[in-house]
Amino acid sequence: MSLTSELRIAVIPGDGIGQEIMAACLTILETIQNRTQGFKLVFDHYEIGAGLYQRTGVDMRDEDFKAIGKADAILLGSIGLPGIRYEDGTEISPHLRIRDEFGLYAGIRPVKYYPNVPRRLLDDRSALIDFVVIRESTEGLFYTHGRGEIIDDLEARETLRITRPVSEKLFDTAFKVARQRKTRGGKGTVTCVDKANVFRAFAFFRKIFNERAALNPDIQVNYNYVDAQALDLIRRPWDFDVLVMENMFGDIISDLGGGLVGGMGMAPCAELGDHHGLFQPAHGSAPDIMGQDKANPLAMFLSAAMMLDWLAERHGIPQLAEAASLLHDAVYEGFESGRLSPMEFGGHQGMTDCTRTLLDILQTPLVEKVS
Ligand SMILES: NC(=O)C1=CN([C@@H]2O[C@H](COP(=O)(O)OP(=O)(O)OC[C@H]3O[C@@H](n4cnc5c(N)ncnc54)[C@H](O)[C@@H]3O)[C@@H](O)[C@H]2O)C=CC1
Ligand SMILES: CC(C)CC(=O)C(=O)O
Ligand SMILES: [Mg+2]
């Protein structure tokens, strides 16, 4: 019997820079795999997104949808191109269907400052920014996707949905993440971000939050209305730990978070459900820079590291967690040593050079690093 566990990864490069950063990411994963034993990643490629829609009129083939549901994990670049739309005028977004149908309710989006990244805020405490946005990703205001109504040429309506089962699981995830972070020196605090002062659905959301908080007395809780949260993330982002919120709020706040630590190329994401995990950067296909080798691929790489960690826990394979650490450490070392310098925030490295630097770091024998 082989001692190597084989894991099948559904790879969806998607559109725009998604295709560029995915190719780079697979090179990184193959390099890490060669340095680590005990698992083998097998990559199955799927063409899904705006490019496919433009060519065929279909955004995702049924057989592909079924196949990715059987994979051990899904790795996604980014999907969508502004000029390519469905008949209702919205953009091509089959990943919303993937989130809904695979029940990927917990979008986990870490916001972490790396050394030597130029500070967006003048305050020296920017170096302490380290929080996580937990974005509900299947309901909230996004529930309305494909269901919105144009009443007439004077009025349009959309619907926001909050349900108890999903909210309970979302909050439990937030408390679990806070606890894990606390064991590594984190603050052990979850802030419920909502708009419970105005919307009954958010008062309901907060009521469920309080019920779950009562079951997690080791974790401190806080509350913030989303508008005040946006303000606080500019004036004191270093004070936050885990922020949990509805889908649309999380979409917006996570881009704000990316901006605080350099840009969207520093914003990884894991979308987790009870039975599936999808890993993708929080950014889109960046049509303004696609095809120019300017993208910062680190959010893609860090999302892949989140995938390795998730697979490690799910399958009980410690070597996968070691592989995730190798990747995290390489990114940290790249910034700390000044060797990583992405164009995204004024550096001189495009995507190929950033990737090459990381490959160099990953291929340096450990003995050379300590000597
Ligand atoms: N999950 C997904 O697949 C997402 C897809 N989209 C889609 O992507 C397309 C573009 O959307 P935008 O609103 O422009 O958002 P975007 O995230 O693609 O770009 C916003 C800004 O950030 C920059 N940027 C993003 N990622 C970067 C990276 N890795 N390195 C350097 N700079 C980066 C872009 O150049 C742009 O200036 C749209 O079709 C949108 O629907 C948007 C967000 C998420
Ligand atoms: C493009 C949207 C469908 C999603 C989005 O903005 C996100 O996942 O952050
Ligand atoms: Mg977004």
Going from the Cα of 147 to the center of ligand 1, the distance in angstroms, rounded, reads: 24
Q: What are phi and psi of 39, to 5 degrees?
A: -150, 155
| pLDDT, tens only, 67-81 | 999 999 999 999 999
Locate 271 and state its tokens.
Answer: 């979308």
Going from the Cα of 264 to the center of ligand 2, the distance in angstroms, rounded, reads: 12
Q: What string of DSSP letters covers 121-175?
A: SSSGGGGG-EEEEEEE-SSBGGGGTTT-EEEETTEEE---B--HHHHHHHHHHHH
Q: What is the pLDDT of residue 370?
A: 55
Q: What is the pLDDT of residue 47?
A: 98
Q: What is the pLDDT of residue 371?
A: 53
Q: Is residue 1's pLDDT more than 50?
A: no
Question: How many CB atoms lie under 10 A from the CB of residue 244?
Answer: 29
Atom number, ligand 2, closest to the C-alpha of residue 283: 9
> Does the C-beta of 357 come closer than 6 Å to ligand 2?
no
| pLDDT, tens only, 303-324 | 999 999 999 999 999 999 999 9
Helices 17-35 and 298-315: crossing angle in degrees, nearest 10, is 50
> Does the C-beta of 80 come closer than 6 Å to ligand 2?
yes
Q: Which of 264, 269, 279 to mutate to test the pocket of ligand 1 (most atoms within 8 A of CB)?
A: 264
> Does the C-beta of 282 come closer than 6 Å to ligand 2?
yes
Q: Is residue 2's pLDDT more than 80?
A: no
> Does the C-beta of 251 come closer than 6 Å to ligand 2?
yes
Q: What is the mean pLDDT of the chain?
A: 96
Residue 192, Ramachandran bin (φ over 0: left; ψ between -120 and 50: alpha; else beta): beta
| pLDDT, tens only, 80-110 | 999 999 999 999 999 999 999 999 999 999 9
| pLDDT, tens only, 19-45 | 999 999 999 999 999 999 899 999 999
Q: Is residue 3's pLDDT more than 70?
A: no
Residue whose CA lies nearest to ligand 1 atom number 5: 284
Atom number, ligand 2, closest to the C-alpha of residue 137: 8
Q: Is ipTM over 0.95?
A: yes
Q: Can you list the domains of the chain with their CATH numbers?
A: 1-104+276-371 (3.40.718.10), 119-261 (3.40.718.10)
| pLDDT, tens only, 116-161 | 999 999 899 999 999 999 999 999 999 999 999 999 999 999 999 9
Q: Which H/E stretch holds residue 328? A: helix 318-336
Global pTM reads 0.97
